Amino acid sequence: MRDLRTFLLCVVAVAVCCDENGGSSLLEPIDLLPADGEISGWQWDGIPAEATDGATLYDLIDGGAAEFTERGFVSGVLHHYRGTLSTTTSTLELFIADQGSSSNAKSIFDRRADRLPFAQEILIGAANEARIDEATGLDTVVLDFWHDRFYVQATLDNRQVAPDLARQTVVQFAENVSLTIYGG
């Protein structure tokens, strides 16, 4: 009887802590940020800014919060990293939103497709869907994806570096976050 009770408690604990995609339901967006220096050559630039409601999200992403809040926004984080690509100092912006469910995360991903008209699908870590746009902004590379209940966007400015190096950098950040969600 004792073994059965222990087994059932373990099953309940796993069901509460983990979802069907392997990610932990206990993760928050700030938990998904790569640590300072975790990605070689990239350091934190300031402290992460968090949002926990529509008003703070609006302040965080300079408008555009409605499309997130209408699709189940729970919380989010925006953070900047500074690194050197070739000989140019660049900034990468990483935005992560917890949309509360995978259907909401997919919905925001689909909704934002028009912002990246030249995006191409790309495979990223364990992400459900991902795309990269290297042509819309003259000085940016944007990669966004959704995985589990999270929507993630990485934007690298200063395209005065080789395009393959810029692409490699946003992919590296995206894969780090995606695999953290999956392994959460």
pLDDT at residue 18, rounded to an integer: 43
DSSP 51-62: E-SHHHHHHHTT
- Spell out the domain ranges in the chain: 27-183
Q: Determine the Cα–Cα distance for residues 86 and 178; give it in Å rounded to an integer.
A: 26
- Mean per-residue pLDDT of the chain: 86
pLDDT at residue 33, rounded to an integer: 98
List, for residues 29-87, the tens digit of each pLDDT value.
999 999 999 999 999 999 999 999 999 999 998 778 999 999 999 999 999 999 988 88
Please give the model's pTM, rounded to 2 decimal places: 0.85
Provide CATH code, domain 27-183: 3.40.1000.70
Find, among 73, 63, 51, 79, the residue nearest to 150 by Cα: 73
The whole-number average pLDDT for the span 126-150 is: 90
pLDDT at residue 159, rounded to an integer: 58
Give me 139's structure tokens: 């000085």
pLDDT confidence bin for 148, thresholds 50/70/90 = very high
pLDDT at residue 45, rounded to an integer: 97
- Residue 176: CB partners within 8 Å, gap ≥ 6? 34, 38, 39, 125
Residue 149 has pLDDT above 70, yes or no: yes
Q: Determine the Cα–Cα distance for residues 160 and 19; give it in Å rounded to an integer.
A: 41
Q: Are 91 and 45 in contact (CB under 8 A)?
A: yes
